[in-house]
Structure 1
Amino acid sequence: MTTESLKAQADLLRDLHTGELLVLPNVWDATSASIVATAGFPAVATASNAIAGMLGYPDGEGAPWSEMFAAAGRVARSVTVPVTVDAEAGYGMEPRELVDRLLEIGVVGCNLEDTDHRAGGLVDAGKQAAWLASVREAADEAGVPLVVNARVDTFLPPNGVPEGQRIAETVRRGRLYRDAGADCVYPIGVRARADLAELVAGLECPVNGNASDELTLDVLRELGVARVSYGPTFYRSAMAGFENAVKSLLTGSAS
C-alpha cells in the first residue's frame, strides 16, 4: 500500500473512534478477518493471544515478533478495511522500527500495553509515556498517523496494583499516555459498570472497553465507550466448536 492509502485508512480508523461505538470482534488469521469484514464491520483488529496460540506459542510476547507480524500481514492483505494489530509491548523494538514494520505489513493501528513481559509487572508510567510519544513522532515522520490504543494493565492481577488504587492509577497512567499522543486508552480487564463509568469520565478521551455479562454493548454505548474488543473470545469459541466436533467423531454422535 502507498503512504497515501495508509494515511487514508489511518484517518478513517481514527474517525471511527468518535461516532457510533466501534465494535471489533478480534481475528487471528486471513479467514477470520475476511468473515468480519464481509459481515460489514468497518475495521478489523487482531488478538495477540489468539495469533500466538494459532502459531503454537504462549501469549505475552512468547512468539517471535516476525511470526506475529507475518500473520498480521496476511490479515491486512485479506481485507480492504483498516486493520489494527495487537502489538503487545512492542517486542523490544525502537519506536521507528516498530512503526516501519507495522506500515510494511499494511496496518494502520496498534495496541501497545504497559506490561514488561521480560521483567514482570508494569512499566514505569513516565517511561511508557515517553516511549509512546516517540512512537507518535515516528509515525508522524513516516507520514501515516498510526492509531495508537494504549493499553493500561492495572486491572490484570499479576501487576500488583491494590484493588482500591486501580481506578486512580489507571486514570493517572491513561492521562499520561493520552497526553503523549495515544488516540485511545484501553483499561483491559474492567468488568464492573461503575468502574468503567468512572474511567470514561476521568480519562477524557476515547476508551476501549471489553464486553461482559454486565457490560453489554448497550451498556458500553450508554457509558460513552468509544470501542469494544473481544480479545481471544471468538478464537476460543471456534476452537471449542472444533474440539466438540472432533470428539463427536469418536463417540459416534456426529451425523
Structure 2
Amino acid sequence: MSDSPSRNTTADDASSVTATAAALGVTTPKPEKSAVLRALHVAGAPVVLPNAWDAASARMVEAAGFAAVATSSAATSQILGFEDGEATPVQEVLDATRRIVQAVRLPVTVDFERGYGLAPAELVERFAATGAVGLNLEDSDPASGKLLSVGEQADFLAAVRQAAQSSNVDLVINARTDAFLRRAGTPEEQLATALERGVRYLEAGVDCVYPIGVGDPTVIRTLTEGIPGPINVAYGRGAHSLAELASLGVARITFGPMFQRHLYSMLETTLLPALAADANPFQ
C-alpha cells in the first residue's frame, strides 16, 4: 500500500479507462466514470480533489492533471448569489452541475448538501440527469444546523442507494458526518459519534465517509482504523501535507471552498485596491 498521494492516483481497472478516454479525446461513458471515481478511493494513496465551482475552474482542475472533479456547495452558492446551506434553489444547483459535467471529461462528484429536501427517488432521478456520478450527503438538518439522528440519516442514505439501484444508476456516495463540525459533546464524544455514524453509513451502502472538521492526526488515524471503508479528510486543518494524510490512511482529500476564497481574497485585498490607487495591479 502506497503512502504517497498522487493527483492521478487510480486502481488498475480505473486508470486504463481514463487513459484510453484521454488518448482518444472522448468522454468516458457514465457507468465507467462511476467505476473510475470509486476505484480512486484508496486508503494510503488518496485521490486529491481540488474543489471547483463552475465550468472554468473545473477545466483548470482537469488541465492540472487531477483524476476527478469535485464541487463545493459553499463556492457554487457564492457564484449563484446565495448562501450555503441549501439556500440555492435545487434546479440552479443541478443546472450548474450539468455545465461542469459538460465542460470536462473527468468524473464529477458534487457537494449536494443534505439533498435539498428531495425524496430519494426524485433525488436520484434529477441528479443522475446532470451526468455527475458522485455526491456528498451530510447529516445535519439545514434548517436547524443540528445533527439528525444516526438512524434517520442511515435510513435516508439506504433509501438513496436503493433508489439508485432500482433505476440502474451507479452513484458514488460520500456520506458526510458533522459530528466534529457541530462540536456537540466532548472531543471523545464527538469521536465516538463519528465512528458510530461512519460504520452505520457504510452499512447503509455508501462508498466513503467524510468526517468534516477533523484535524488531529491521532483522531484521523483512529477514524481510518475504526471505520471499515474509505475516509475523506478536508485539507488544511492542522496544516497537514498530502503525504501526511496519506500516511494516516486517508483515501480522499478535498478542500471545500478554500481555492475560491483565496482567489477572491486576492482580488479584494490586492488587485482592486491597487487599481483604486491608480497602480497597475498586474505587475
Query: How high is the TM-score relative to the length of structure 2?
Result: 0.86
Q: 1:250 aligned to 2:276?
A: yes
> Aligned equivalents of 1:120 and 1:209: distance in 2?
21
Q: 1:188 aligned to 2:212?
A: yes
Task: State, as a whole percentage, how many aligned pairs show the same letter.
Answer: 42
Determine which of 194, 197, 200 is the counterpart of 1:176: 200
What amino acid is aligned across from residue 148 of structure 1 in structure 2? I
Q: 1:228 aligned to 2:253?
A: yes
> Aligned equivalents of 2:230 and 2:188: distance in 1?
24
Per the TM alignment, residue 62 of structure 1 is displaced from its structure 2 partner at its CA by 1.4
Determine which of 35, 38, 42 is the counterpart of 1:18: 42
Please list the CA deviations of residues 12-41 of structure 1 after superposition, one character each: whole Å capped at 9, or x if unmatched.
110111373100000000000000011111
Aligned partner of residue 88 in structure 1, secondary structure: coil
Per the TM alignment, residue 109 of structure 1 is displaced from its structure 2 partner at its CA by 0.2
Aligned partner of residue 112 in structure 1, secondary structure: strand
Q: 1:5 aligned to 2:42?
A: no
In angstroms, what is the RMSD of aligned CA positions?
Answer: 1.4
Per the TM alignment, residue 200 of structure 1 is displaced from its structure 2 partner at its CA by 0.7
What corresponds to 1:106 in structure 2? 131
CA contact (8 A) 1:6 1:144 kept: no
> Aligned equivalents of 2:249 and 2:198: distance in 1?
16
What amino acid is aligned across from residue 187 of structure 1 in structure 2? P
List runs of 5+ in structure 1 lacking aligned partners: none
Per the TM alignment, residue 142 of structure 1 is displaced from its structure 2 partner at its CA by 1.9
> Aligned equivalents of 1:162 and 1:97: distance in 2?
38
Aligned partner of residue 186 in structure 1, secondary structure: strand
Please list the CA deviations of residues 165-187 of structure 1 after superposition, one character each: whole Å capped at 9, or x if unmatched.
01111000111001000100000
Determine which of 93, 102, 127 is the counterpart of 2:152: 127
Aligned partner of residue 150 in structure 1, secondary structure: strand
What amino acid is aligned across from residue 247 of structure 1 in structure 2? P
Aligned partner of residue 29 in structure 2, secondary structure: helix
List runs of 5+ in structure 2 lacking aligned partners: 1-27
**Matched ranges for 1:1-255 at <5 A:** 5-18=29-42, 20-157=45-182, 160-212=184-236, 213-243=238-268, 244-254=270-280, 255=283
